[in-house]
Structure 1
Amino acid sequence: MPDVDDPEVDGVDSIVRAVLADTPRMTEESFAAGRERVLAQRRKPRQWLRIASVAAGVALVATTALFIPSSDTELAETASAASVLDRAASLVRDPDLMQNQFRYVSLESTSPPPLYYEMPPSSERPPPSSKQCDSLPMYAEQTWIPRDPAAEWFQLSGVRQVSGKVGDEVKCDFRTTDRAAEHGAFATARPNPPPAWEILEPKHAAGLPRDPEAMYRKLSASVPRANPSLGNFLLFVSRGFMLPADMRATLLRATKYLPGVTVTQESVTIDGRTGIAVGLPAKANGGAQQDIVIDPKDGSLIAYRRFVDNQKSIDVFTYGVAEKSGEKPRG
């Protein structure tokens, strides 16, 4: 036990208490454990600097759940995931838009488009061996959401397709199509709309519950028996990018009710952004790991990922504010 009269130890106690100032009351045993962590880091100067810089913004010692799984037990992992999801949900916001501005959301995917997507005319699909083709996403969407959600939205979507050959190298381009729809009803406005469980559009989702547990039960029950994968709920969450902030927050909180949900990766960098991955490991999901990557700074969704054997598919999301419909945000 360190000497309690040691001024260095007294300073450590001050740091621990300052870090815990905004966190729920804890037991003496929890405080002692946190104190010992800080003391251990104090003996390692390089790591201490890192902890001191983080402590100002995050209660790292007390609530290790947000960035570090608390233990290897399934119960603790579930609690860790719940903490991440609750914290992220509390940060979700919509940007403050001026009268003629748009919330911009971009999706780029290594997976084929949804089954209901209307493919542009093309003679052939790109082979998987083409390096030039692989530099393009297989499917992409750009959506412009107006300040008034009931007004007309605009969406540009497309698929990667073969454009020709140069020698033995296959060349690809991106065939796009655009559409407009009031209140973001791009899929449900089609003559043959997809099944309700495949989409999360604002108008369609308006009747969904705001209670997280009720939201989970409602959406998970809508998955057809022929496609029972638990991971489909994570796909639901990732497809909620067009929903307003309160519903996106509810989806994040609802995810903690997913059986077996855990922190699958404490830190992952995608498209230059670092987040924490929460989802289902392969052992809990029929051999397929599925997760969402959350930005801990603002609760936004960075990516949705699916790993099966040695294959990986990923959807990457980016956001911004556009001055005009159909134009990307500046900068």
Structure 2
Amino acid sequence: MTERGDHELDEALASLHLEARVSDRSLDDARAKLMAEASSASAPASFPSKSPFRRRGLVVGVAAAAAALVGGAVAFGGSGGAPERQPAAQSAQPTTSQQPTKRDVSLLSASQVLNDTADKITATDPELRPGQYRYIEVRGSYLRGFQVGTSQEVVSAPTGYTYLADVTYQTWIPGDVTREWLERRVAGDAKLIGSSTPASEVPAYQPVDTDTGERRGACGDFFPKAQPKKVCGDKTDMAQPAFYEDLPRDPDQLLAWLRDYTSQRGSAPTTMFHFGIQFLTSGIMPADLRGPFLRAMAKIDGVKVVEEASTPDGRTGIALGLDSDSERRDLIVDPEKGEVIGEQTVAKEQADYPWIKPGTVTGSVSVTTKVADAIGVVPAS
């Protein structure tokens, strides 16, 4: 593949990851798009007509959108072909005795926790002085892997492997969002969470190109060749502040808006909850919208308190989840401090990858926001 082809495929993969992150539709379209991209580097990229989210990779669907191809295979782990087989490096997992004891939160109701969190919110939007930037840090663990076949095949079961890879996204946003933004991506450790073959036969993990490096662009347009073209101030792009400006601040009106926003996907409770999590963990939702939005989320049918959970940056909160056949999506809040601190995804019985055991955490994210004194400078803790 040419250097130009590599670059275009990187941008195509990044955009497909982001579309998958907010999609509850069948993955057939995403598989077909990526197969076309992988088979012809010179072909123009094919993207959905409207992408509501353009920031970071999906906790749930990154590998699903790009690794499960009908009758084919795609490897994640570098810009070249599949890596040579070698023993996979895996992070040591703590024993049960080493894991901290979780408190029992089973008697709490989701409505109680979400409304309590909303009551305790004291955060205000930062006032940036000249030269300062809003800093958003997202620490996450994302699915990366390789799969041949799909779980729907009858002739033979799919084969492959799946890693949970750590990636940190650092974003600097100026007060005037039309100016240049900076995003820095840093790949970390990866842990094998399942495979159809012995772990010793699984290739060692290699970070994908879009999980590393720095990218700059006005209005956060970090992949300028991606289609559809990013429009500054687009009120349909949830990665831009303009998206949140005109949303209602009344919980009932917000719930109605969320139902309408997800109407093309059926407005199912799982879909509404999924999108609500994306908005709340975007890092750019205005402070005065967070409380009403949490109260709106409390009105979604089926949301329940799951457990006390920790985020990748070490904070502890309460996970509120909603189940689908393939996974459980959790929003993690700290009701004592009035903060949304992250999210996680847990595999269910009908997980997209049959080698991943039910109950396995397949994604985890923490979000923090601060004020940076200059672009590229990480604020002190």
TM over 0.5, shorter chain: yes
Candidates 266, 271, 275, aligned match of 1:233: 275
- Report the RMSD for the aligned CA atoms in angstroms: 4.0
Q: Gaps spanning 5+ residues in structure 2: where? A: 1-102, 145-159, 191-201, 349-357
1:87 maps onto 2:119 in alignment: yes
Distance 1:328-1:210 versus aligned 2 partners, 3 A rule: same
| Residue aligning to 1:217 | 256
| Residue aligning to 1:254 | 296
CA distance in 1 between partners of 2:189 and 2:255 (Å): 37
Distance 1:140-1:199 versus aligned 2 partners, 3 A rule: farther
Aligned residues: 233
Candidates 116, 131, 136, aligned match of 1:105: 136
Partner letter of residue 302 of structure 1?
A: I
Q: Which has the higher contact order (CA 8 A, sep 6+)?
A: 2
CA distance in 1 between partners of 2:222 and 2:366 (Å): 20
Larger C-alpha radius of gyration, 1 or 2?
1
Structure 1 residue 253: deviation in Å?
Answer: 2.5
Distance 1:328-1:146 versus aligned 2 partners, 3 A rule: same
Candidates 224, 228, 243, aligned match of 1:192: 228
Q: Gaps spanning 5+ residues in structure 1: where? A: 1-66, 114-125, 163-167
Partner letter of residue 94 of structure 1?
A: D
Q: 1:134-162 CA deviation, whole Å, 9 max, x = no partner?
A: 5x52x542222334556544333477899
Distance 1:260-1:227 versus aligned 2 partners, 3 A rule: closer
Candidates 188, 203, 206, aligned match of 1:172: 206
Contact 2:331 2:342 in 1 (8 A): yes
Distance 1:212-1:159 versus aligned 2 partners, 3 A rule: farther
Partner letter of residue 268 of structure 1?
A: A
1:269 maps onto 2:297 in alignment: no
Candidates 337, 346, 370, aligned match of 1:307: 346
CA distance in 1 between partners of 2:300 and 2:115 (Å): 14
SS across alignment from 2:292: helix
Matches within 5 A, 1:1-331: 71=107, 77-88=109-120, 90-111=121-142, 128=162, 136-137=165-166, 139-148=167-176, 152-157=180-185, 170=204, 172-173=206-207, 174-182=211-219, 191-192=227-228, 199-223=238-262, 224-225=264-265, 228=268, 229-230=270-271, 231-265=273-307, 267-270=308-311, 271-280=313-322, 282=323, 285-286=324-325, 288-309=327-348, 310=358, 311-312=360-361, 313-331=363-381
The alignment-based identity, stated in percent, is: 25
CA distance in 2 between partners of 1:213 and 1:142 (Å): 34
Normalised by the length of structure 1, the TM-score is 0.56
Normalised by the length of structure 2, the TM-score is 0.50
Distance 1:198-1:98 versus aligned 2 partners, 3 A rule: closer
Distance 1:94-1:221 versus aligned 2 partners, 3 A rule: same
